[in-house]
């Protein structure tokens, strides 16, 4: 039966080879770049989370204070709808997401997309049920904030 000790003895007889010149410097540089990329993604994720928190806060403000929302004029409503369309166009022009990305980045993107889908459903319901304009404006404001956060994350991911 062959137990492999002869192979180990033969390996010990091989000469030790020196690594190619500059290999360790390249390894260290690659590790520095990997750490820098990780810090970048952590910051981008934090920014997206902060934008989502702001969007929720704005929505809570408009929902809890309908009088303040009622004072908003039709021009700002139209501006929110136009800004949403502009962000949709900007998002469509970004390159397709890379097939490999950090889990936290993918989670952030999916979370933002899911939240946008929920707001879109609420906007459809609000339009169908003739909901008061201040509430619809609050939903459009939240959609713009979420779209803005998604554009930031996707832009950072595309870099």
Whether the predicted pLDDT of 1 surpasses 50: no
Q: Is residue 17 part of a domain?
A: no
Domain count within the chain: 1
Q: Is residue 93 part of a domain?
A: yes
Q: Is residue 153 part of a domain?
A: yes
Q: Is residue 117 part of a domain?
A: yes
Q: What is the pLDDT of residues 61-108, one digit of tens each?
A: 666 655 554 555 667 888 888 999 999 998 888 888 777 788 888 888
The pLDDT score that the predictor gives to residue 44 is: 74
Q: What is the pTM of this model?
A: 0.55
DSSP for residue 101:
-
Q: What is the pLDDT of residues 140-151, one digit of tens each?
A: 999 999 999 999
The pLDDT score that the predictor gives to residue 60 is: 65
Q: Is residue 123 part of a domain?
A: yes
Q: Is residue 115 part of a domain?
A: yes
Q: What is the pLDDT of residues 71-80, one digit of tens each?
A: 556 678 888 8
Q: How far is CA 90 from CA 103, 150, 152, 158, in A?
A: 24, 11, 11, 13
Task: Report the C-alpha gap between 159 and 153 in whole angstroms.
Answer: 10
The pLDDT score that the predictor gives to residue 8 is: 67
Radius of gyration in angstroms for the set of CA atoms belonging to the chain, rounded to a whole number: 26
Phi, psi of 101 (to 5 degrees): -150, 165
Q: Is residue 82 part of a domain?
A: yes
Q: Is residue 16 part of a domain?
A: no
Question: Could you list the residue range(s) of the whole structural domain that residue 49 is in?
Answer: 42-158
The pLDDT score that the predictor gives to residue 115 is: 92
Report the mean per-residue pLDDT for the chain. 80
């Amino acid at each position: 039966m062959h137990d492999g000790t002869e192979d180990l003895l033969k390996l010990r007889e091989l000469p030790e080879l020196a690594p190619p010149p500059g290999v360790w410097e390249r390894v260290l540089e690659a590790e520095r770049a990997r750490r820098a990329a990780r810090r970048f993604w952590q910051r981008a994720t934090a920014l997206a989370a902060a934008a989502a928190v702001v969007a929720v806060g704005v929505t809570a403000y408009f929902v809890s204070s309908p009088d303040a929302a009622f004072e908003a004029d039709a021009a700002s409503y139209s501006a929110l709808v136009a800004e949403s369309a502009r962000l949709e166009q900007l998002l469509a022009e970004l390159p397709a997401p890379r097939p490999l990305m950090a889990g936290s980045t993918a989670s952030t993107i999916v979370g933002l997309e899911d939240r946008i889908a929920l707001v879109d459903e609420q906007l459809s319901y609000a339009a169908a049920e003739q909901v008061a304009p201040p509430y619809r404006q609050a939903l459009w404001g939240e959609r713009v904030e979420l779209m803005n956060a998604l554009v930031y994350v996707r832009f950072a991911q595309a870099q």
